[in-house]
Structure 1
């Protein structure tokens, strides 16, 4: 009898241990606290908990640097094969892998979900002679070296967007005078004081300055006009085949079991439809940009090819 009770207790203990293990997920945030990737990861799980989609324990690790490649390299090594290990990453990571000669291969991770996007805008000084995107492109064609454009890090999504615009307009990418800035406010200062002819950055970085009358936004990289920028034409509308976003998403660990990948795809799909997540998007000013599972994996592959080709055209990669 005692033996039977002991076996039952042992079996129950195993079930409880399995449940406890299942009720914990580790999340790599390959950036310093307070940034966009950090907020994306933490708020996604807070909303998931609020919506009752996943209510287990979540442990976060912040490890910033080199466009996310330092944190992802650590994630690649330490979390391989872990069933419930996830990492936040984004468009910036794609180019950073190439520029930093990182050993990371995004195709080895399990694609879970693309969550958000922030589109980009090109802006000039409020009293600039460039009244339209065509005016700016004409100057770029005439003398690209004299048309200094500021934005984020070299090879980042801002730089890529400018390079795509140049390609669409027939301007040699290698002739661009792109000057990386420490942040969006630095880009605005450069535009206003005249050291930059234009700047390119996320909408959230520039919109307030445009509303204050310090800069003028000439174009946005969305497919269609945005409600909050109703007077601003898209690059495509202006005749330039450019659509690009600074997107953010979630990867599962290398060799994550298929069942766990499917479970996380399902959870993030439910998150995308939840009121809790929609409230986060509205509060943060993020655009929903959802894509899950294998379709997200195909997108990563396509985006990697596109971005790396632009980096080669710009002479930043071989």
Structure 2
């Protein structure tokens, strides 16, 4: 028994350095400029992994452009088989890949986990005659072009949420009068100024105006009510609109199952740590951790659903 124990310990010592090397260094690409949601996600991962002692050497790189597709292509082309290479991304990238006809897609990387999520809210000015999802649906059915939507970029999560609602209301999504704004501040000014009928964005963009009573929530795109918002979901109002602006982390293509498992273990420890969850609370992000094969299946479904909606919106072929 003693000889066997020594042999086993020796064998473990041969394996341990290789296993440790997979998490000794980590590089995270944020496929966007500094300061945005993906950059903040990457740097929050970096800070948490270092503070928790999970990875000692972590670097973040920014590669901006085309909804994340420029960085994604660069990542795929240069990182194959590299267990230290990771990339953050999210739902916006799903639409950008389709809309930009990107030569690479999320099928070319190794999904690890969904980390955070934010549901979309549709709001109207406090004095608007639109008070519910049914009011909004009725207005669309009466004159789809007369209902103006203020949101983010065409083909993004806001546009997709508006398109899904239109479909649920019995209106052709491509007929909606959607006005993309470059920034949340511009969209907010248009809503408050009565220049548009409704606004659509993540809750955090409108939260202060909702709390102040200047905006009212028509619905939120969550499957059930959220603790942070006293407002009905579209689902409970009879419209199956379930859209989440999620963010994820993925690994390079061509890594081994063992390397993937090692990375998943590190990310799961991070996602359950108090440091990570405190950071999320500070930023107003919701922990929607979903990992491994379950996340890969979720991602496939998101790609299929988004492709269908973008076709209906006239953005994808």
Q: Could you state the TM-score of these two structures normalised by the residue count of structure 2?
A: 0.92
1:254 aligns with 2:259: no
Normalising by structure 1, what TM-score? 0.91
Counterpart in the other structure of 1:160: 160
3-state SS of 1:77 partner: helix
Aligned to 1:172: 172
User: For the residues of structure 2 that align with 1:16 and 1:261, how far apart are their CA atoms?
Assistant: 17
Q: CA deviation at 1:16?
A: 8.1
- Taking a change above 3 Å as real, the CA distance of residues 304 and 16 of structure 1, as seen in their structure-2 partners, is closer
Q: Are the aligned partners of 1:188 and 1:215 in contact in 2 as well (CA < 8 Å)?
A: no
| Gap change, CA 1:18 and 1:211, over 3 Å in 2 | closer
Q: CA deviation at 1:294?
A: 1.4
Indicate the SS of the match to 1:28.
Answer: strand
* Separation (CA, whole Å) in 1 of partners of 2:276 and 2:178: 36
2:46 paired residue number:
45
Q: Is the 8 A contact 1:84 1:260 kept in 2?
A: no
Unaligned runs of 5+ in 1: 1-14
Whether contact under 8 Å (1:84, 1:256) holds in the other structure is no
For residues 238 and 19 of structure 2, the distance between their equivalents in structure 1, rounded to whole angstroms, comes to 57
How many angstroms apart in 2 are the aligned matches of 1:139 and 1:17? 62
In structure 2, the residue matched to 1:227 is 227
For the residue of structure 1 that corresponds to 2:196, the secondary structure is coil
Contact 1:152 1:158 in 2 (8 A): yes
Give the deviation of 1:146 after TM superposition: 1.0
CA RMSD of aligned residues (A): 1.8
SS of the equivalent of 2:275 reads helix
**Deviation larger for 43-52 or 79-88:** 43-52
Distance (whole Å) between structure 1 residues aligned to residue 311 and residue 285 of structure 2: 30
Quote the residue 1:288 is aligned against: 287
CA contact (8 A) 1:120 1:220 kept: yes
The aligned residue for residue 71 of structure 1 is: 71
Label 1:18 to 1:166 Cα distance change in 2 as closer, same or farther (>3 A).
closer
Deviation by residue 1:175-212 (Cα, 9 ceiling, x = unmatched): 11111011222111111222211010000001111122
Residue number in structure 1 paired with 2:24? 23
Match of 1:218 in 2: 218
Q: Distance in 2 between matches of 1:238 and 1:16?
A: 56
Greater CA drift, 304-313 or 208-217: 208-217
Give the Å deviation of 1:137.
Answer: 1.5
1:108 Cα deviation (Å)?
2.3
Which consecutive segments of 4 or more residues in structure 1 shift more than 3 A?
Answer: 15-22
Task: Provide the rounded CA distance (Å) in 1 between the counterparts of 2:17 and 2:281.
Answer: 39
What's the secondary structure of 1:227's corresponding residue? Answer: coil
CA distance in 2, matches of 1:18, 1:279: 29
Deviations 1:117-154 (A, max 9, x none): 01110001111111222111111111111111011111
Aligned length: 303
Distance 1:307 1:60 in 2: 29
